[in-house]
Chain A
Amino acid sequence: MSSWAGHLIKLARMESGLTQRELALRAGTSQPTIAAYESGRKEPSLATLKRIVRGAGLELRIRLAKYDDHDEWVRRYEERLPADARDRARRVDEELRETARAERGAAR
């Protein structure tokens, strides 16, 4: 299970075009450690995360924002839906994706 820090490290690598090994070298750590952070097997400290992100030529910026329970509320909303409504939503979701896929295929 990937963690937030793991996602951020992957994003930083994607942004900089570095391999795990290259980033590890620049951040003063090892490739297996970067791999473990990215996979969520290990969790870096904030100081380590900042150092790794800096190794990718980026800066970790943190800001405080008002707490928003929107995602939890949507999850509770989904849980309260009757099974048939959830099924319908799943079918609509699949149909929307399939249509987009077909259109992308046709445009090629």
Chain B
Amino acid sequence: MAKHDIRYVVIGGMAAVLHDVPVPRTFDFDITPKRSQVNETRLATALGEMGAKLRAPGLDEGFEIPLDGRAFKHMITMTFVTKYGPFDVSFRPDGTEGYEDLAREATTIQRFGVEIRVASVRDIIRSKAASGREKDAAHLLILRRFLAEHGE
């Protein structure tokens, strides 16, 4: 991601882990990229280098799709399996308006020698609260307690 200068914000469980919120360990990496032709082309290139295959509901194995700037056109969410693990791209996570919305409160951290933009705990809560999923109710409790205790 950094190599290709992609604009994105880490969201979801991994963002919570990066803030040290005590949610369970997660194996997937979720990002919200900026919507622009240039950025989407860069993201497609990076995913190609990661050996990304598209994953569809009901299928365990991913399948290859042409990864270029058009791959994300009209798409809101895409789930990939890469050689580094599951990787989800969500242009408009539940309860948010997408990259610009999340980038406003995101923090930049340095991990493994690269800069990573991470959604704020408040925005992770906003998104999980909007999703209404069963699993997210448990995570919401943990996130809200963390926010009350530590702030951002």
Q: Are B134 and A4 in contact (CB under 8 A)?
A: yes
What residue in chain B is nearest A68 (Cβ atoms)? B57
Q: Which of A7, A89, A103 contacts B27 (CB 8 A)?
A: A89
Contacting A at CB under 8 A, from B1-44, are 17-20, 25-28
Question: How many residues on the A side are at the interface (Cβ–Cβ under 8 A)?
Answer: 31
Alpha-carbon distance A90/B144, docked complex (angstroms): 24
Closest 9 CB pairs of A and B: A100-B20, A7-B137, A97-B20, A93-B25, A4-B134, A101-B20, A78-B27, A7-B138, A74-B28
**Complex-state Cα separation, A76 to B28, whole angstroms:** 12
Contact pattern, A 61-88, Cβ under 8 Å of B = 1, otherwise 0: 1010101111101101110000000000
Cross-interface CB contact of A69 among B58, B81, B135, cutoff 8 Å: B58
Are A11 and B111 CB-contacts (below 8 A) given A70-B79, A100-B20, A104-B20?
no
Interface class of chain B by DSSP? mixed
What is the bound-complex CA distance between A77 and B145, given in angstroms?
30
State whether B18 touches A100 (Cβ < 8 A). Answer: yes
| A11 interface neighbour in B18, B137, B150, Cβ under 8 Å | B137
Q: Considering the chains assembled together, what is the distance between the CA atoms of A101 and B19 in angstroms? A: 8
Known: A7-B137, A77-B60, A89-B85. 12 other contacts (CB 8 A): A4-B138, A7-B138, A11-B140, A14-B141, A70-B28, A77-B81, A78-B27, A96-B17, A96-B20, A100-B18, A100-B19, A100-B20
- Of A7, A14, A71, most buried by chain B (CB within 10 Å of CB) is A7
